[in-house]
Amino acid sequence: MKKRNIIWLLFLILLFISSYYREVLFRSINAIIDGEDFFYAKTTELPFLKNWTASELNRLKYILTIGFSVLFVLLTTFGLKWSFKSNLAFQISLGLYAIVVLVAGISLLIALITNQFNDFYPFLRTLVGLIHNPLLFIILSAGDKAIQVIRN
């Protein structure tokens, strides 16, 4: 197996592991906020969060959203950069992430100025969902491989 393929596989695994833990954390926090003791995503006990208030847990969710966003962007972009000879997938990922961040920033600004954050939240959540998964990495990887096959 080539070195670049091993690097690609490593980043794909890291993205899937990150996706799993992101899902468990957010589902766990939401369940605690809702007062639930049992829920399907609870595969790990998070007793240290049980005594937190709903307000503190909501703040934690925003911090985790930023942290996971940075993590997914870094894993995707560097994974693409180090997995392929061509920089095309890497450059496209940077452009797409820049567009999502710009649209999210403008939307958040409008939501805060108009005091209608709750109305904008579903859209913002969708944008975050675009970042917090390995799909961009997979799609751009497939595209780069397809271009390589066509050129050869």
pLDDT 10s digits, 44-74: 667 788 889 999 999 999 999 999 999 999 9
Structure tokens at 33: 């906020």
Q: What pLDDT is stored for residue 27 in this prediction?
A: 86
Structure tokens at 66: 């930023």
Alpha carbon distances (Å) from 60 to 52, 56, 63, 104 = 10, 6, 5, 19
Q: What pLDDT is stored for residue 40 in this prediction?
A: 60
Q: Is 80 exceeded by the pLDDT of residue 101?
A: yes
| C-alpha dihedral, 5 to 7 to 12 to 15, nearest 10° | -170
Domain total of the chain:
1
Average pLDDT along the chain: 92
4-41 pLDDT tens trace: 999 999 999 999 999 999 998 898 888 888 887 666 65
Q: What pLDDT is stored for residue 73 in this prediction?
A: 98
In this structure, are residues 101 and 30 in contact, taking their beta carbons and an 8 Å threshold? no
Q: What pLDDT is stored for residue 43 in this prediction?
A: 61
Q: By residue range, what is the domain housing residue 138?
A: 3-151
Q: What pLDDT is stored for residue 60 in this prediction?
A: 96
111-132 pLDDT tens trace: 999 999 999 999 999 999 999 9
pTM strictly above 0.95: no
